């Protein structure tokens, strides 16, 4: 029985938030990634320029996790409302955005993200119906193509960590190496996959994600067992510092409704 004073989801959100630096122009996806981003703002990055793809600027959520990037919880104290072309186009596709946080239903060893559907095995030559239809790419494809770097936040389970995703909704490093170059993306690709068990980072040349760090409550063996490909381990693999009291307090102020504690 775990007696940790924080949940695994909270550790993931804090580790994700630590990836953000003060002053950056940052875009957050809906849900848990938004909590991670606003945690960073509440804790160590007070001057972060936070935005969502909804074109809602200058806002901090009120009343807990917003139901959506446009809902009243994120519209009650905004300083500017614009639109999709502005947020995802002028500020992300342009190359202005430093960092984005996106979620994933499935991710592979090159950081490609699937949020479109689950098929039994490969789709094949004909685009057949998915066994389970998911939410589609939304703005994550645009963030994956355009943000300077991308942090992928995902629950660590074997079914979510595939050798190859069945559908690339949002590009990571595609087939690895310099495969992104062909498309001229202004964004640099995913810099980290932060999970409920640890942190994976890409090899600088092959772009294959390897285990960089684990948490106080997880282990290298546990993480390898929960990964659907033969996960390589960095020679400098290390333990991630546990959340400080200040970090937990800041996160819980943002996560007023306890979405990360379920």
Partner 1 sequence: MPGNKLITLAEAVGRYTRDGVQYASGAALPVGSDAVVFGRELLRQKRKNLHAIFHCNTQQLNLLAGAGAVDKAECGFSGLEVFGFANGLRRAVESGQTALEDYSNLAMALRLLGGAMNWPFVPATVNIGSDIQHRSAFAPDEYPATRKIPTVTDPFSGQEIGAFSPLKPDVAAIHVSLADPLGNAIMLGTEWSRFELSRAARKVILIADAIVDTDCMRQYPNLVRIPDIVVEAVVYHPFAAWPQSSPGLYDVDEAHMKFMNKSLSTVEGTANYVLDYVESYNDIDSYLDLIGRDNIERLSNSATSFLLDPYRKWIKTPAEIAALTAEVTA
- Residue 105: burial class (beta carbons within 10 Å; 0-12, 13-18, 19+): buried
Calculate the CA 252 to chain-centre distance. Answer: 19
- Name 209's Cβ contacts closer than 8 Å, sequence gap at least 6: 109, 110, 111, 190, 193, 200, 201, 202, 203, 231
Nearer to partner 1, 131 or 238 (CB): 131
- Residue 137 binds to partner 1 (criterion: CB under 8 A): yes
- Residue 258 binds to partner 1 (criterion: CB under 8 A): no
- Residue 127 binds to partner 1 (criterion: CB under 8 A): yes
Question: How many residues lie near partner 1 (CB under 8 A)?
Answer: 64
List the structure tokens of 144: 């994956």
Name the active-site residue from 10, 19, 24, 53.
53
Positive or negative, the Cα torsion across 137, 139, 143, 145? positive
- Residue 159 binds to partner 1 (criterion: CB under 8 A): no
List the structure tokens of 106: 């499935």
- Residue 93 binds to partner 1 (criterion: CB under 8 A): yes
Among positions 58, 67, 120, 158, the unique one binding partner 1 when judged by CB under 8 A: 67
Integer Cα distance of 196 and 187 in angstroms:
26
- Residue 35 binds to partner 1 (criterion: CB under 8 A): no
Nearer to partner 1, 78 or 233 (CB): 78
List the structure tokens of 90: 């002028």
Binding segment for partner 1 (CB under 8 A), chosen from 39-47, 118-126, 149-157, 233-241, is: 118-126
Nearer to partner 1, 93 or 213 (CB): 93
- Name 135's Cβ contacts closer than 8 Å, sequence gap at least 6: 105, 115, 116
Binding segment for partner 1 (CB under 8 A), chosen from 161-169, 197-205, 223-231, 245-253, is: 161-169
- Residue 168 binds to partner 1 (criterion: CB under 8 A): yes
List the structure tokens of 124: 């094949």
Taking the alpha carbons at both ends of the chain, their separation in whole angstroms is 16
Active site residue 70: no
Integer Cα distance of 175 and 208 in angstroms:
9
- Residue 211 binds to partner 1 (criterion: CB under 8 A): no
Residue ranges in contact with partner 1 by CB under 8 A:
30-31, 53-56, 62-63, 65-73, 75-76, 81-85, 88-89, 92-93, 112, 116, 123, 125-142, 145-146, 167-171, 174, 180, 182-186, 259
Active site residues: 53
């Amino acid at each position: 029985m775990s007696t940790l004073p924080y949940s695994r989801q909270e550790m993931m959100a804090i580790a994700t938030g630590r990836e953000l630096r003060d002053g950056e122009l940052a875009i957050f996806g809906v849900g848990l990634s938004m909590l991670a981003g606003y945690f960073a703002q509440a804790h160590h990055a007070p001057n972060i320029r936070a935005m969502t793809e909804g074109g809602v600027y200058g806002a901090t959520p009120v009343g807990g996790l917003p139901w959506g990037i446009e809902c009243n919880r994120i519209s009650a104290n905004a300083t500017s409302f614009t639109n999709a072309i502005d947020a995802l186009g002028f500020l992300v596709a342009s190359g202005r955005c430093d960092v984005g946080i996106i979620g994933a239903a499935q991710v592979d060893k090159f950081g490609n993200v699937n949020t479109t559907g689950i098929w039994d095995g490969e789709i094949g030559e004909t685009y057949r119906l998915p066994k389970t239809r998911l939410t589609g790419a939304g703005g994550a494809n645009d963030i994956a193509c355009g943000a300077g770097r991308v942090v992928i936040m995902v629950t660590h389970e074997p079914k979510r960590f595939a050798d190859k995703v069945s559908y690339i909704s949002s590009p990571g490093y595609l087939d690895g190496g310099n495969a992104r170059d062909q498309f001229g993306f202004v964004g640099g690709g995913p810099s980290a996959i932060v999970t409920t068990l640890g942190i994976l980072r890409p090899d600088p040349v092959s772009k294959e994600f390897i285990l960089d760090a684990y948490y106080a409550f997880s282990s290298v063996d546990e993480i390898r067992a929960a990964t659907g490909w033969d996960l390589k381990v960095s020679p400098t693999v290390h333990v991630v510092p546990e959340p400080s009291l200040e970090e937990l307090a800041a996160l819980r102020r943002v996560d007023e409704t306890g979405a990360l504690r379920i």
